[in-house]
Structure 1
Amino acid sequence: MAAAICVCGRLRRVKVDQETLDAAAANSISPAWGRIWNGPSPDGIWDLPEPAVLPWLARTCSAFSRRERVEVLALAGVVALAADAASRALYAQEIATLRALACDGLADEAFHDFTFVGLQQAVLGLDGEKVWSSELSHINGGEAELECPACESELLLCLEPGESTIEPGLSSELAERLHAEAVQAGRGFVATSLTKLFGRFTCPECRTTFNIADQVASGLAE
């Protein structure tokens, strides 16, 4: 599943022609998807469809199977997240439809944990959650790189299940929700990793204890 774009990065709005949209809607693995959503250009700018594409995304996702719509939902989450308040209000019904489809995918036991987390990110993007719609990718990466808030030591923390000096926790209502989703879906690996990402850690250099999630979010804001 494609990684979410951090909307604090550089975005360039593009209008996608109808021929490309038709080709993409006809086949979930069509090369046309690469013309709709691709990686950043050499100058570091992401091309992202305008919010007006949301109704088309909702129709396309509804016509696709669960497996076919995974990447489309990832795109929808980013488009909705980057949309302004007026666009989110205008396309509220389509965003709600896309969110329901993403939540439906969370129940699919055939999906890999990686895809499950990606769908959680899509839901968060559709909700307009600007931090964890991108930073939840640390679960799939298995680690979080951050600085101690006191002494600024660089730390690389392993989030995967196993022996760890991280004090497990769920430091916010959102963390509790994501954890409950993972438990309900039988995603033990994801659930345990979430308790680490939203847990506490004591810096080995200065012995300061801090919330890991707060530092991840702080690094995104810089």
Structure 2
Amino acid sequence: MTDWSKLRDACGAAGHVPALLDRFEADASGVWSELMDHLCPQLDTVFSASFAALPRLADLALSCGGEDRRWVLLAAGAIMACAPSGDDVFEVFSAPIAELHRLTDQCLREAEDAENYVSLLQSLLSFEGVEIWDRCLEGLQTGEYEVDCPHCGVDMFIVIDEADCFSATDDYALREVEKTPLRPSTPEELEGLAKRLHDRALADGQQLVAGGLPYLFGRAACPDCETVFSVADRVSAGQMY
């Protein structure tokens, strides 16, 4: 039995968390932001109560469906994205994490749009302890990443959009700028996690996501100094700071 009074959340003692989880069960979309404010503020900080909530979140995900299940899985995924790979939380909470992974895998097969699909895919990776990419696939939703050149250090946009894929050092959304086309990997060049994600997206019928992954795991050229670099490496490097 969890003694919540001995645990902490973002506001201090966590004795109120079970009641918050009850309200989350009754109104997942309406209470999600409040729950995250307590258990995973800014989606990058966790507390002892955050991980203690995983068994309850797994039970909620199992007992509900549709949009409610998605909100539960996203909450648990955000928490697990803050757990370092190899952390003992994966052992202590192995059963609820396995259940959350199973349900996320199922939801991915049923996702109707790219935005929900990418969010759930990040949650799936978080339950597996895959670092960096349990947070950094969101650019496939928004259509852009902000990185710096590994040679000259200039800030640039990497745009991965259905209509156009390019790098630029000026704000392309405000005016016409010089665009340098990205250099996607071929499907045969993808390997490891990149290949797995690409194959999964294709199998799930997510053509937009599958189409963006070769660019994310491809190469770009700096418009200023013309240095060619790995897009994924620069996105990963941005998470190290």
TM-score, with normalisation over the residues of structure 2?
A: 0.78
Give the 3-state SS of the residue equivalent to 1:106 in structure 2. helix
Distance 1:89 1:166 in 2: 41
1:167 aligned partner, one-letter code: R
Aligned to 1:156: 157
Closer/same/farther in 2, CA of residues 52 and 190 from structure 1, 3 Å limit = same
Higher RCO (CA-CA < 8 Å; seq separation 6+): 1
One-letter code of the match for 2:139? H
For 2:91, the equivalent position in structure 1 comes to 89
- The answer to whether the 8 Å contact 1:121/1:132 transfers is yes
In 1, Cα distance between the equivalents of 2:121 and 2:100? 12
Counterpart of 2:34, as a letter, is R
Distance 1:45 1:208, change over 3 A: closer
Tell me which moved more, 144-153 or 81-90: 81-90
Q: So what's the TM-score if we normalise by structure 1?
A: 0.84
Residues 23 and 107 of structure 1: CA distance in aligned 2, closer, same or farther (over 3 Å) = same
Determine whether 1:103 maps to 2:128. Answer: no
Which one is further off, 87-96 or 163-172? Answer: 163-172
Q: Supply the AA of the counterpart residue of 2:236.
A: A
> Cα 1:81–1:29, aligned 2, differ >3 Å: closer, same or farther?
closer
Gaps of 5+ in 1: 1-10
Q: How many residues align?
A: 208
- Letter of the structure 1 residue corresponding to residue 208 of structure 2: F
- 1:29 corresponds in structure 2 to 29
What are the within-5 Å matches in structure 2 for residues 61-210 of structure 1?
61-83=61-83, 85-109=87-111, 111-164=112-165, 165-169=181-185, 172-210=191-229
Q: Distance in 1 between matches of 2:233 and 2:202?
A: 23
Secondary structure of 1:134's counterpart equals coil
Determine the C-alpha separation between the residues in 1 that align with 2:128 and 2:139. Answer: 19
1:54 alignment partner in structure 2: 54
State the distance in 1 between where 2:10 and 2:130 align.
20
Compute the displacement of 1:26 (Å). 3.0
Cα distance, 1:69 vs structure 2: 1.0
CA distance in 1, matches of 2:208, 2:46: 34
**Structure-2 separation of matches of 1:29 and 1:148:** 39
Partner of 1:5: none
CA pair 206-70 structure 1, distance change in 2 beyond 3 A: same
Q: Is the alpha carbon distance of 1:30 and 1:201 closer, same or farther for their aligned partners in structure 2, counting shifts above 3 Å?
A: closer
What SS class does the counterpart of residue 229 from structure 2 fall into?
strand
Distance across 1 between alignment mates of 2:72 and 2:154: 39
User: In structure 2, what residue type is equivalent to 1:135?
Assistant: C
Structure 2 gaps of 5+ residues are: 1-8, 166-180
Deviates more, 1:63-72 or 1:158-167: 158-167
Aligned partner of 2:102: which letter?
A
CA distance change for structure 1 residues 133 and 219 in 2, over 3 Å: closer, same or farther? same
| Shift in alpha-carbon separation, 1:37–1:127, aligned structure 2, 3 A | same
Q: Please name the residue that 2:233 is paired with.
A: 214
Q: Which has the higher Rg, Structure 1 or Structure 2?
A: 2
Pairwise CA distance, 1:219: 1.2
